[in-house]
Structures are given as structure tokens and as C-alpha cells.
Chain A
Amino acid sequence: MNLLRQCRLRSLALSAVSLAALSLAERSMPMLAGSLLLCAASWYALEGPRGRPLPKWVAGILSGAVVVGAVVVGLDTRGLADLIAITGRALGAVLVIMLFSRRSTVDERSVIALSAGVVVASCMLSTGLLVGLSVAAATVAAVMAVTAYRLAVGSERAADARRMPPHALSPAPPPELPLRSSVSLRGVAIVASVMVLAVASVVFLVFPRLWRDPPGLLRRGGPGTAGFAPEIRLRTGDRISTSRREVLVVRWLDSAGQAVRFAGTPYLRGAVLDSYEPSDARWRASSVNPVQITFRIDPGNFSNLGNPPIDTRVDTWTQVVEMRALVTDAMFTAWAPVAVSASAPRTVVLEPATGTLRDLGADDAGRYSTYQVKVRPFPGASVIESLSWGQRPSIGPEEFPVPQVREEALRILAESGLGDDGDAAMEGDDRWARARRIASAFDAWLQPPRFRYTTDLSRFISREGRDPVDLFLRDYRFGHCELYASAMAALCRSVGVDARVVVGYVALEYDDIAGVYVVRESNAHAWVEVLTGPVQWSMYDPTPAADLIALHEEGRTWADSLRWLYDPIDFAWTRSVVAFDGARQARMMDATARQFSEALGGVVRGIGEWAQRVNNAFLLGPSGYIWLGSLGGVALLGVWTAVSVARARRRERALLALGPLDASERRRMRRDARFWVESAEALRRAGVRRPVHLTPLAWARALRGTRPELAEALERVALRLYEIRFAGLRPDADARRADADLARQLIRAASRVRAG
């Protein structure tokens, strides 16, 4: 295999990994299969028995068409994520075209650059485990491809340089271009890859993270969010996640510690959204009531969330949550949580106004992975009062900020026979009864066949000046749970009934054998809570339950049986990499600095203790430390001297060519030919160095032209060296003195050169 072919193979591997990363980021299996097939086909087209690349003009036209198409589609796109996706797809398409049309190393360079672009786009689209693994693989593949490319370019340039110039009469011998077997780059590439991965990991850990949003939120429903987000955006027009990935598992234990199954469907509350922004059609949590109660949780003990404390021994179930994919600070609990516990010390915040729990993290780890909550499924007024910590529910605006919704609400109430309740201003129990009546009417109104549940909003087209809730209620009448919940909350609010949207998960799948509820990404849900008492919120879910169950069932595949293997790894990835944010980075840095200082302190302490022990053993007294310090200094000096002597010996060995001699001859030569070592050293200091290809005598003769003041003396010294080193002359003491004098003359001349 020649170098170009090797380069082609490696860049093909890089392209395949990049396209796989993009396909996985897009969550498109057909795209993955298609791109890999095209990669294989391109190799066959180029390197097969009738290999022939795509003509350049065809490739140019196809690439141009792809770019134009991407620009046209991109102009009609609003979201950044979609724009990046389109760019990524366009780069991928051009990359595939390039794979079919590459001819030279220049084309390989384009392939590598396009692959890098595809990888960057993939990283901006998703933070999933498989995408991450693909990106890591692409990093290694890129090292392999670029090293092979460098060699291929070098060989091509070497061959080009040997082309005969116009004035030449005969060609030059061709360069000796190596075959792959003689240039094994595997070791180099592997070491370079390991170094790249190691340095990249360090940079990754110290990169400043100043984001306001939590990581992984570029695309809703992405791996970092697992279908859950603490807000609702009605204008994004996305198809919500139908992934079967396990987000968490919940086990319910009764008072006796036995696993139980709910009679109904458990709803796990994650966040309460009580504020609607019509400008961007977004539900979010308001900051009207910022009161938060912080609890420090000790492992194994339940922290009571009530004020006064709630009795957790009666009518209380224990909810044990084990996270599988989702990394968030929201803690999912059924209504109503009364006590919380975790396996590690943590800090938890209770928002009395909403009854939601939030994790503030721990000192030594990132987001939580397991926790336990004691829940009162049917709380009485005293329990709710206790949980509210004296806080009254924050009352939202009397009217929903979209006037058309109120018209629709009044029309619905009139049709439902509740026309009198529309504008009624009631107090006390009548008010709560009216709220229940109105909520039930709206809940019933939103049921099929009048409204149709679907997760595909591709035909839910936004219109200028129309709110999505209004469009859902009056025009389209199809949508998913977010639209159902938004519509019902909007209808309630528009007629003066306080309502809020709750987002979280609905547990539909019960594993009889393990005795746990398995909550999947597709179980992310939104529903409504309506104020039906002074502090009492009642739950309403206008989304048709049958459709929710059908949605859950339709995505069931054989792959679900393997999720026990994949999901823990995925969760570890999400928890360790995706959710690695600024706070965790700061904690890690603190811990590292602490450990380092402790280690350093330990070493210093150890040395001190050792010195003390030695001091005590020899009864040296306080002055012993001075002696020990002096001893250390002498030891250091000894090491330095040994290194210097070793270096000098090595220099002597090279200068006198002592390699082939035995030990006694070496000793003799060091003594007898010392004058040559000193002379060479003096000349080196004077900036006159012997070229390695010249013998001492040839060097001396070569210096006649440039350094005549040194040449003569050097020649005498060199001849003397030859006699001793190669002619077997054994000088006596007088001769050695004469040799030393000879060398001194040369050294003096060299000093003059140095000074001058």
C-alpha cells in the first residue's frame, strides 16, 4: 500500500466517523446507515477493480447544488439549532461528494477539513454519549489521517521536485519513496493520539465555563435534558422526544417497606411554570415568591420538609428515585413530599409556593444520582399548610395576556352550560367550587374527538399576530401535552381561575419483577394544577391518557432489552461530562489544590519528622539540623559533581574515540591524550568546532584558510594525537609534559581568538 492509498484509507475512516457523529447527533438511523454505505461505496469506486473518481465538474455541480440548497433552506430557518443542523448536513453531503471525487493529496486535505467541520456541527447539535464517543474517535482518526497526509504530501513533493527542469539534459534518479511497510506510523500516531487526548482532557477540565444555561440545552429533548426542561417554548415547532431512553426508575415502598404499585398513574413533578410570556410564547417559573427553604441532608436520615414537622409515620409512602440519564438540579417527586433523604451529604431547597425540591449539590460530587422522598399521596389541609411554611400561593394575573383566549373560554363555558360562572366574582368556598367546575369543563372540552393528540407539529404553522395557544384552541386543535396544558391553564386564567403548568414525568411502565416504575424520555409530560382552596392545588391533565399510553407503547423495540447495559454508561457520561459546569469545575479545582497542598505539606512534614527522628537517634541537639542540612547540601553537590563527571567522560569518549578500547586502554588514553581533550575544549569555547565529517588533521588543514593563527598549532597537536591514539606510542612523563606544553600553546592561541 503506497502512502497516498494509506492516506486515503485513513481520511475515509475519519469521514465515516464524522458522518456517524452527525447522524447520531441528528438521531437518524437512516442517515447513519446511508452515510456509512456511501463511504464504503466511495472506496470501491476509487480503489475497486475499475476504480475511477467522479469527474471534477460533476463533483463541482453537485457540491454547488448542495450549498445553494442549504442556503435556501437556511434562509427560511429561525432557530440556531436548525441552522447548525442544515450546515452540518450540507458539509456532510459535500464530504460524501468529495469522497467520490478525490484524486490527489490536495483532495485529501479537503476531506479532512470537511470532516472537522462535520464534527464541530455534531458537537453543537448534541452532547449524547454516542456523539461524544464518535467525537473522541474522530479526534484519534484525525491524528491518524493528518499524519498519513503529511507523509503523502512529503512523498508527492519529493517526487515533484525530481522532475527535470527545462535546462536539464538528463533526469535525476527518482526519490526513494517508501512503502507503507517501511514507514510504520502506527507508533507515532498512537503516541500523538494519546498525547492529544491527555492534553485535551486537561484543557477541557480548565476551560472557563461562564454559561448561563445549563449544559446540553441547545436542543430540547437532547441527552442532557432527556425530554425535561424547566420551561415550555410553544413556538419551537419541534417534535418532542419519543426516545425510549430510561431517565430514572422509581420504587414505591409502603410504611412497612414493601414495594407497591400505584392504583393510578404517578405524576412526578419537576418544575412549576406559572408565568406566561406572550411575546415568545414561553411558560416559565416566575420569581414572584422567591422564598426558599434550605435543608442540609445527612445520609440515612430523612429531613422533614414541614413547618411544623409532619408526621411521616402514617399514610406515608417512600419514593426511591434512581437517576439513569437525566442530569438536573430538579428533584422529581409525587405530590406531596414531606421528607427527603439521600445517600450522600447534600443540600436541598424547598420552594413552599410550588412544593418542588431542588438539589444544590454536594461538596465532593456533581449532580445527584439517587435520593428518597417520603410522600403523602393524599395530604390533608394541615400537611399542606405545614409544607407551605406560611406562604400563600402566588396569584397570577387575573386575565391571560391573550384576549382571544378569554373569548374562547367564555364560549366554551357557555356551551358547557356554565355561562354564569364566566364573569362571576365569588368568595370563600363558592370560589373554589367554581374553580373546580370551570377546570373540569375545560378538561372535558379538550378531549377527543374535538382535539387530537399528536407529537408531530410540522403542520402547526405559526401565524403573525396569533398566539400558539389561540391557534391550538381555535384553529388547529391538535398538538401535544405542552399545548394541552398551556391551553387549559390559559383558559382557566382568562376567566379568573388560578392555574399553573407543571412539567415532569408520568410513570406509565411498571416492572413487575423489579417492582419499580421505569420512566423513559418519552414520558416527559406537562399538566395543570388549579387552585381549588386557600393553599390547595388540584391536578388536571387534559392530555388524553389513552394517547399518552399509546405513545409510550409505540416506541417499544427490541433494543429496550439492552438498555440496562447502555443507560448506566450514558448516565455516567451525562453526569460526568455533559453536566460538567462552572460550579463543578470550581469544586474540582478547589479539591485538587487542597489535595496538592496536603500532599506537599505531607512531604515537608515527612522530611521534618525524618530529620527529627535522625536528630533524636544521634542525640545531636538543635545544632543537628544544621549538620543534617549540610549533609543534604553535600549530597546535592555530590550529585551535581557526578553528573558533571559523567558528562565530561562522555565527551572524552567521543573526542578520543574510546569506544572500541578496553578499560585499561581507556584509562591510559585518558591520561596520555589528555592534551587533545583540553585543546578541543579550548577551541570549542573559542567558537571553533570540528565538523563531524572532518578528522582532526583534516580539520587543522581546513583551518589554514580561515584561522591560520590556530592551524599550525592544531596540526601539531593532531599529529601527536594520532601517534598516541592510533600508532601505539606510549609517552613517558617528559613526553606528556611536552604534549601539555604543545596543548597550552594552542589554548593560548584559542584564548586570543576568543578575546579578539
Chain B
Amino acid sequence: MHMRRRYRIALPGVLFLALVVFVGVAAGSRAGNLLVWVFSAMVAWILVSGIVSGAMLMGVRVRRLEPGPGSVGRPLVIRYEVTNANWLWPIVDLRIAETRIDPAAATQSHAWLARCGARQSAHVEGVLWPRRRGRIRLESSVASSQFPFGLMEKSVTTAQPREILVHPQTVPLRPISFARLVRTGIGQGQRVADGQGGGDDFRGLRPYVPGDPQRHVAWKRSTLLEDPVVVERSTPAPRRLLVILDVVAPTAQVARMIEPGADARQREEDAITLCASLLSHAEREGWEVSLRIAGMPPEPASGPASSAFRRGAWHLERLYSMLAAIDLDAAREGASAASREGSTGRSALAPEPDSVRGAVTIVVHPARADTAIGGPGAMHLTALQLPEMRQP
């Protein structure tokens, strides 16, 4: 971990130096030892400021703890572990910030540590508010302090290169809009599961096995059969939603499809936001969700399981990460190429029937709906519908 220390005279320090010169001239020209004392005290302030802050920052070790993925518009807390290796002197009034963060990518709020005793560690939090989806590169963290007198700013820069993924923005959707949308889908996402499990649906009867709970015993049937039988339930089968993002058309082509003057890239981002919001809303309502991206090559990091229907925060994070990793400047897989791939890849235009059986399919387009994507029965939304689906 490479560290670099820097000293910089702060503005109050410059003013203070000017005052010291003034008092020094007065003390030198006017007989009065108290004035000399004031001058001496001021010089001592400068020296002690340098000594104290130097001693303080000599022992500072700042380690950025692995930040998780962020989300556009949501605060991303970045934690730092500050260790004071100094044996005697505490760290006071320490400010930690990331260097070289693109202001267009994120707004930064520094972390602040009031005090960390000698040979102690402390955790502090800084906050990033990502402005756009994608990757943000964190190069190094700089810990600075103007303590004790604010005359000099001392800083220690610690190189800790790291990339963080920023998920697309999710907006709350109107429940009624979502309900109407999925009601029109085939089967409304409902399905029947085969396996035995702890669901609510009746699956069958089987002979009693010692250890079965008594409340599972079907008493009437047992009386008829003269042997105890128990009721088996099916596995839970939540409804399924497949969201397909259509980024087949390059941005330039999208620009031709939308009204003049509108921002095509923003429209694509809105489509991504709508996808993320649909996934978020559905997952919250108990749906199993899946995502496919039409027009993009498979993302190596996301893995093959990303397209499976699952529930839970972890799965949702994976789907968000797929959306976050979309590079809209990269070459798109055209519709013809995708058609040739058929239903084997995640960039497929039409989902394979087995895997999506019983699932509601929603295709989100940045501009114009392309019904070739998603197959029959799929519902098509455009990015323009985001405002009307959004909860006010």
C-alpha cells in the first residue's frame, strides 16, 4: 500500500504568517518584552502545529473496507478503518476522502474522524452519491487534517485502487400499474409445482411414517383405509416474471427512432431503470424474477445462473449487476445475429419455452417496441412509460 505525505499551508496559515511578521516587526522596533512574548508564542504556534500534525499523521494508516455495489441516487457508504500506529499521540479531526472521483460519476461526502487514541483503530464512514450507472474507479484515499491550529493542512494519500459497480436507479412503481400489466400476461405468471414441499397446494396422500406430525394426518381417509395416511403438500411455486431489456439497436439508431431533440442515451438509461424497477417491484411482491438482455454479449462476471428464476436480495443484486455492467458504448449484437443464436444465449430475442413456461414476460425497449423480441404473449413497454408507471 503506497502512502504519500504532503504539507500545504492553509489560508488561515497565510494570514497568520502575515500577522506574525507584523507582530515581529512591532516587537523588534518597540521596547516591550510582552510583545516579544506574543511574537514568540505565535512562532511557537507555527512550530507546534507542524510538530503535532506531523507526529499525528506519521502514524495514520487508512484502509478502505471493501465497498459493496452502489445504486444511482442512493448513498453508498464507504467504510474506512483508521489505525493509529503512534504510541503517544492521538489522531484528531481527521478527514478522509477519495481522490480523483469524476464529479459526473458521483458526488462525494468525506468521512470525518473526531479522535482515535494512540495504538487504536476506528471505523469511519464516507458517502458517495453515484450519479450514473456503471463502474466508478476509486484510486486512493487521502486522509488530511488541519489540527491543532488550522495553519497547515497535512495529508496522507494511500493508494487503494478499486472499482465499484453502480446499479441502475430503481424507482417505486405504482402497484396498480404493475398489477394491470401482469394480469394481461399469459397465466399471470402462475404455475403448478410437481415436487413435495411445504406449500399450500394439495399433492396427495401417503402412508403414515413414524415421525410425521399428527396434524398432517388425514383422519377421515385413515378411518376409511383403516391405516393412517398423511397429506402431502406441493412445493411453493411463486409466480414468475421475465424481464427482457432490448438494447439491440445502437444508440444512434435509437436516436433516429425517438422524437427530435430527445436524448437517446438517456432514453436507454430510462429503459434500464424501468427494468430494474420492474424487477425490484416484482421481487418485493413475491415473484421469482429473471432478466435477459437482448443485444449484448454475455457478461462473464454475471455467470450462467443469472438468468434463472429466483427470489431474494442476492439474486436481485446479481440482476442489478447485469444491468450495471451494460456498456452502451460497446458493439451491440444485432437482431439478425441474435436470431441465429436462437434461444441458447441470454442475448436471445425469444426466450426458450421450457424455461419460461408460465412466466410473464415483459420486454422493455428504449424507443420503439420490437415484437420480435420476447416471443408471443410478451408485453412490451418503452422507456417513455417510466413516468406514468412511477409512483408519484
A residues at B contact (CB < 8 Å)? 3, 116, 119-120, 122-124, 126-127, 131-132, 135-136, 139, 143, 146-147, 149-151, 153-155, 157-158, 161-162, 164-165, 167-173, 175-178, 182-185, 187-189, 192, 195-204, 207-218, 577-578, 580, 689-693
Contact B150 A208 (CB under 8 A): no
Contact B129 A172 (CB under 8 A): yes
CB within 8 Å for A183 and B33 given contacts A162-B127, A172-B109, A172-B129: no
B131 interface neighbour in A116, A167, A185, A196, Cβ under 8 Å: A167
Contact A155 B112 (CB under 8 A): yes
B110 within 8 A of A: yes
B129 interface neighbour in A143, A168, A578, A693, Cβ under 8 Å: A168
Cβ–Cβ < 8 Å partners of B43 in chain A = 199-200, 203
Q: Which of the 9-residue segments B23-31, B184-192, B299-307, B366-374 touches chain A?
A: B23-31
Contact A213 B31 (CB under 8 A): yes
Cβ–Cβ < 8 Å partners of A216 in chain B = 31-33
Interface residue SS majority, chain B: mixed
Q: A157-B95, A158-B111, A167-B73 are known contacts; what are 18 more A-B pairs with Cβ within 8 Å?
A: A123-B38, A124-B30, A124-B34, A147-B147, A151-B114, A161-B127, A167-B107, A171-B75, A175-B125, A185-B92, A195-B48, A196-B48, A203-B43, A204-B40, A207-B40, A218-B30, A580-B33, A691-B1
B169 within 8 A of A: yes
Cβ–Cβ < 8 Å partners of A171 in chain B = 75
Cβ–Cβ < 8 Å partners of A146 in chain B = 148-150
Write the nearest CB–CB distance from B52 to chain A, whole angstroms. 6
A201 interface neighbour in B2, B40, B45, B147, Cβ under 8 Å: B40
Cβ–Cβ < 8 Å partners of B90 in chain A = 187-188
Cβ–Cβ < 8 Å partners of A578 in chain B = 33-34
Find residues 67-95 in chain B having any chain A CB closer than 8 Å to their own CB.
72-75, 77, 89-90, 92-93, 95
CA distance A165 to B131 in the complex (A): 10
Per CB-CB distance, the 6 closest pairs between chain A and chain B, nearest first, are: A169-B73, A158-B112, A199-B44, A203-B40, A172-B75, A123-B34
CA distance A126 to B35 in the complex (A): 9
Cβ–Cβ < 8 Å partners of B29 in chain A = 211
Contact A170 B30 (CB under 8 A): no
Q: How many positions in chain B have a CB within 8 Å of any CB in the partner chain?
A: 61
B38 interface neighbour in A3, A120, A157, A183, Cβ under 8 Å: A120
Contact A150 B1 (CB under 8 A): no
A195 interface neighbour in B30, B39, B51, Cβ under 8 Å: B51
**A-B contact list, 30 entries, CB within 8 Å:** A116-B19, A119-B38, A132-B34, A143-B148, A143-B149, A147-B92, A150-B146, A150-B149, A150-B150, A153-B150, A155-B114, A167-B73, A167-B131, A170-B74, A172-B129, A183-B114, A187-B90, A188-B92, A192-B48, A196-B45, A199-B40, A202-B40, A203-B44, A215-B31, A216-B31, A577-B33, A578-B33, A692-B1, A693-B64, A693-B65
B37 within 8 A of A: yes
Contact A200 B40 (CB under 8 A): yes
Cβ–Cβ < 8 Å partners of A183 in chain B = 92, 114-115
Contact A178 B75 (CB under 8 A): no
Cβ–Cβ < 8 Å partners of B2 in chain A = 689
In the complex, what residue of chain B is closest to A134 when comparing beta carbons? B34
Write the nearest CB–CB distance from A53 to chain B, whole angstroms. 24
B47 within 8 A of A: yes
Find residues 88-118 in chain B having any chain A CB closer than 8 Å to their own CB.
89-90, 92-93, 95, 107, 109-112, 114-115
B residues at A contact (CB < 8 Å)? 1-2, 19, 23, 26-41, 43-45, 47-48, 51-52, 61, 63-66, 72-75, 77, 89-90, 92-93, 95, 107, 109-112, 114-115, 124-125, 127, 129, 131, 146-150, 160, 169
In the complex, what residue of chain B is closest to A132 when comparing beta carbons? B34
Write the nearest CB–CB distance from A128 to chain B, whole angstroms. 9
Contact B39 A172 (CB under 8 A): no
CB within 8 Å for A195 and B127 given contacts A120-B38, A154-B114: no
Contact B107 A165 (CB under 8 A): yes
Cβ–Cβ < 8 Å partners of B89 in chain A = 188
CA distance A693 to B162 in the complex (A): 12
Most chain A CB atoms below 10 A, which of B39, B51, B112: B112
CB within 8 Å for A175 and B112 given contacts A199-B47, A203-B39, A692-B63: yes
Contact A200 B41 (CB under 8 A): yes
Cβ–Cβ < 8 Å partners of A187 in chain B = 90
CA distance A131 to B33 in the complex (A): 12
Contact B93 A150 (CB under 8 A): yes
Cβ–Cβ < 8 Å partners of A172 in chain B = 75, 77, 109, 127, 129
Cβ–Cβ < 8 Å partners of A167 in chain B = 73, 107, 129, 131
In the complex, what residue of chain B is closest to A147 when comparing beta carbons? B148
Cβ–Cβ < 8 Å partners of B36 in chain A = 204, 207, 209
CB within 8 Å for A214 and B41 given contacts A150-B150, A162-B127, A167-B73: no
CA distance A690 to B1 in the complex (A): 6
CA distance A196 to B40 in the complex (A): 9
Cβ–Cβ < 8 Å partners of A212 in chain B = 31
Contact A165 B32 (CB under 8 A): no
Write the nearest CB–CB distance from B25 to chain A, whole angstroms. 12
Contact B112 A154 (CB under 8 A): yes
CB within 8 Å for A161 and B110 given contacts A123-B32, A692-B61: yes
Write the nearest CB–CB distance from B331 to chain A, whole angstroms. 23
Contact A162 B114 (CB under 8 A): no
Cβ–Cβ < 8 Å partners of B169 in chain A = 169
Cβ–Cβ < 8 Å partners of A201 in chain B = 40
B48 interface neighbour in A123, A199, A211, Cβ under 8 Å: A199
In the complex, what residue of chain A is closest to B127 when comparing beta carbons? A172
Contact A204 B37 (CB under 8 A): yes
Write the nearest CB–CB distance from B24 to chain A, whole angstroms. 9
CA distance A157 to B47 in the complex (A): 26
CA distance A199 to B46 in the complex (A): 10
CA distance A150 to B148 in the complex (A): 7
Contact A196 B109 (CB under 8 A): no
CA distance A196 to B64 in the complex (A): 35
CA distance A213 to B107 in the complex (A): 61
Most chain B CB atoms below 10 A, which of A123, A177, A211, A578: A123
A196 interface neighbour in B39, B41, B75, Cβ under 8 Å: B41
CA distance A176 to B36 in the complex (A): 43
Contact A195 B52 (CB under 8 A): yes
In the complex, what residue of chain A is closest to B35 when comparing beta carbons? A123
CA distance A284 to B102 in the complex (A): 75
CB within 8 Å for A178 and B93 given contacts A127-B33, A135-B37: no
CA distance A136 to B33 in the complex (A): 13
Write the nearest CB–CB distance from B65 to chain A, whole angstroms. 7
In the complex, what residue of chain A is closest to B92 when comparing beta carbons? A188
CA distance A447 to B114 in the complex (A): 74
Contact A127 B41 (CB under 8 A): no
Cβ–Cβ < 8 Å partners of A119 in chain B = 38
Cβ–Cβ < 8 Å partners of A176 in chain B = 124-125
B37 interface neighbour in A170, A200, A692, A693, Cβ under 8 Å: A200
Contact A161 B109 (CB under 8 A): yes
Contact A689 B1 (CB under 8 A): yes
Write the nearest CB–CB distance from A582 to chain B, whole angstroms. 10
Cβ–Cβ < 8 Å partners of A204 in chain B = 33, 36-37, 40
Cβ–Cβ < 8 Å partners of A177 in chain B = 114
CA distance A168 to B132 in the complex (A): 11
Cβ–Cβ < 8 Å partners of B32 in chain A = 123-124, 127, 215-216, 218
CA distance A444 to B111 in the complex (A): 85
CA distance A701 to B28 in the complex (A): 65
Write the nearest CB–CB distance from A657 to chain B, whole angstroms. 16
Cβ–Cβ < 8 Å partners of A217 in chain B = 31
Cβ–Cβ < 8 Å partners of B93 in chain A = 150-151, 154
CB within 8 Å for A170 and B34 given contacts A185-B92, A203-B40: no
Most chain A CB atoms below 10 A, which of B23, B44, B107, B149: B44
Write the nearest CB–CB distance from B45 to chain A, whole angstroms. 6
Most chain A CB atoms below 10 A, which of B26, B28, B41, B95: B41
